[in-house]
Amino acid sequence: MMFFAKYKKKKAINSYISTLGKDLARRYGKSKTYTTGQVEKTIHDEGYNWRHICYAHALYTSMKQFDKWHSDRGEVCDYNSLREEISDSFFGGDISPIDSGSFMEGSAGGSSGDGGSD
C-alpha cells in the first residue's frame, strides 16, 4: 500500500510540474508565482489530484502565501522542505529550476512575477 501512495504522490507532483504551470499561465498570464487561490481554483477546475496541493503551492506561490494558506487551515508545512524534496526527486537536487520557474514553459518572461497581491 505504501508503494502505491508514493507512486500517486510522485505522479501528482509530476503533473503539477509538467502541466499545472501551463494551465496557470493560460488562465492568469505568465508569472513566476501565483496566488494560493489561483492554484487552488486551477487544480479544482482542471481535475488535478488535490491530495498533494501543498506541493503545487510550494512550486507556484510565494512563501508568504504558502505559510498563510497553511496557517489558515491549522496545518504545519515547510515551504523550503517541500521545494527541496521536489528538486531532489525531479531536478537531480538542483533547486534553480524551481527558483527561476524555468521548468514552466516561458513562465518568467514578460511578467512582474508577483502573480497578484500577497
> pLDDT per residue over 60-107, tens digit each?
999 999 999 999 999 989 999 999 999 999 999 999 998 888 877 544
Contact 104, 25 (CB under 8 A): yes
Identify the pLDDT of residue 55: 97
Average pLDDT on 45-73 reads: 95
What pTM value is reported for the model?
0.84
Identify the pLDDT of residue 1: 60
Identify the pLDDT of residue 115: 41
pLDDT of 15 strictly over 70: yes
pLDDT band at 111 (very low <50, low <70, confident <90, very high): very low
Give the residue among 25, 12, 38 at the shortest CA–CA distance from 104.
25
Q: How far apart are CA 69 and CA 114, in angstroms?
A: 17
